[in-house]
Structure 1
Amino acid sequence: MPLKLSALCVFLATTALAAAPKPALPPGVVVKEASGEAAIVGGNVDKAFNEAKAAALREAVEQVAGVMVSADTLTANSQLISDRVFTNSAGYVRRYDVLGREVLADVAKVTVRAEVGTEQLDKDLQAVQALIRRLGSPKLVILTQEQTVDPKGVVTNGGLFATVLTEAFKQDQWTIIDPHFAAGKVRLLPGVALSATEAKEIGDLSRADYILYGTVVFRQQPPTVNGIIPEVDAQGRQLVFSVSGEYDLAVFATDNGSQLAKVAGKFASGPDDLGGPSKAVISYDRTAYEIARRRGQRIVTEVRAPVIEYVRASQQDGNRVSMTVLGLKDYAAVQAFRKVLAESLTGLKGEPGKATFGKEATRFDLTFLGGTDELAGQLGGKTFQKRKVLVTGVTANTVELTVAP
């Protein structure tokens, strides 16, 4: 009888434990199940499983982010948001359990159940959305010197890379400025050689906020025999059209001429740049196009990051604004206008920079805690020396004013 009673007690205790509700999740936590995969390279299964687990956790966080962000914002700026989540996904996961691990052919797959903290994620996504609004389809001009060297060493100029980059940046919500304004006015130099003064001048000519400037070289490789598979057929006709080369580009902000990033690399007709060998069997032009298309997407991503950091710093430390004023008749008027700016602008950080005075226009460099629309709103319709001040131009980092006669 005592033995039966003990067994009954154990049964009741076990039943009560099984029936107990699971602990409630703390506020600001969402549970998601997700899977990730990674290729097994060199037989290193453990490394592949770790990479697959990291991919699964990123997927769980991105699922939560996708619910938290409006559909329009996610569609128009999915890559920007994905970049932010990707770089900090581990920071949003409070804890996780691995539900399954398996190997399928040469791919490791991991499934996880992750607890994702939404409070910090929400703050970060709101910051990204604020940056998206702040960027406001920034104006970019692409100025490249592009050359193609054929198998005989003949060099021709082209614009394939610029064309592909233009389409990629347009898809990323940038406003692309037609580079034809530069004809006869901007001399492209080999390599990335652009001074701050030159960058500002290009900004003045193009009305662009940013410049992507540099050189690209495509080298068409002659058909060769690699010892196993000939690259010409029995009649000597070329079968494979291989291309190699390099690019050397830099990104400049036109408000102060500073270089924000350097984007450089080499490319070749391999799977990394073509997505597979078949893309190199039609023509040199097709091979070059496929390389430019794939590299173009990477360059967009590489350019976006420093621009976002630049904008973020501008929000925290002040946005550098180049203000052009037309109609200031003499240097005394310039000094008087500078004093008015210093005394009347709300959000001006420090004193206006030393004015650059010219016969037709005067430029002031300002640091302003806010956007150029806000700055223009403060100045438009004001009077200076009994003359009306008109806002005649606004970009992300420039404001043009005209003092009426």
Structure 2
Amino acid sequence: MNITIVAGARPNFMKIAPIIEAIQNKKEEGFNLNYRLVHTGQHYDKNLSGTFFEELNIPLPDSNLDVKSGTQAEQTAAIMIGFEKELKQNPCDLVMVVGDVTSTMACTIVAKKAHVKVAHVEAGIRSGDMRMPEEINRIVTDSLTDYFFTTSNYANDNLVRLGVSKSNIFFVGNVMIDTLLKNEKRLQKPELWEQLYLSSKKYLVMTLHRPSNVDEEKRLKTLITQIVTLGEAFPIIFPVHPRTQKLLSNLNLNFKNLHYVNPLGYLEFNYLVKHAFAVITDSGGITEETTVMNVPCMTLRDNTERPETCDIGTNILVGNDPEKIEKAFKILFSGTWKQGEIPELWDGHAAKRIVHHLASMSS
């Protein structure tokens, strides 16, 4: 079986790393599994994509579509045009897409129109929020997918409700956690640790990039001001996404305990997360990592496609509601934050299960 693996944005690289390793190991056992890695170039900043190949020992892509930035429609179109040429020049038996970024949806559409089967890793997750581009990507991708690799029973149930045959749903666990567990001992203290005199459990980490939080200046200013004020006893480390940087430059938000830093590589960022007192984020993937590392997490969203991080893990949804945020900080500082547990099959072996199923399909 010849597999084309698609990656385009920062979360994708964490997910493909263990899959590629598992394919290589299976091939050494004598199975007929070959892969070709295509980077769409959706994330092209070195800190958002380039460092991952080095840090996670991912082989360099066989092809880079180099689409770069643009509107949702421009990026989708550029990826589809580039990937159509890629598939014509390099036919395969299966296209594997991961996650819920624009590349995932665009390459799925191209593959199905070329009559190539699609496997979706992290299939079936849903937030129910149609304002999120990722939710549209998930719905379109799963409406076309042939093989669904899922992270939770919530995702399984979502797919069954949509009419997906149970025989095409494979509950394998979370490949993001495969990468975290494999690299946990390799996490690297960033230079800013010494520069800012940080110490374990004595600082907060914040990330913001969702349009609902960062696209309107007044809302962003109010949100950051409240968080910085409530967390005034702690340094707050804020790796700034390029999307957010554009707005922050106009807001002049300068606080003694707020430290803007450039996006960090995987090993450095997760070192910060692991040793943080708490994380404040609007990212879905980070809530999975905080759950496994047992770090309190406030999510600045009203919904999540990863409900297990709330029901089982360390995550609490606060949206951008001032009252909910204040209440969460009171719980945090009182020392009564809930103790999380690790969801089923988040054990570091999801990629092996995926490749086991692929090997069965190819035999």
Shorter-chain TM-score bucket reads under 0.3
Relative to its length, the structure with more strand (as a share) is 1
Task: Report the TM-score when normalising by structure 2.
Answer: 0.22
Task: Report the TM-score when normalising by structure 1.
Answer: 0.21
Relative to its length, the structure with more helix (as a share) is 2
Higher relative contact order (CA closer than 8 Å, sequence separation 6+): 2
Q: Which structure has the larger Rg?
A: 1
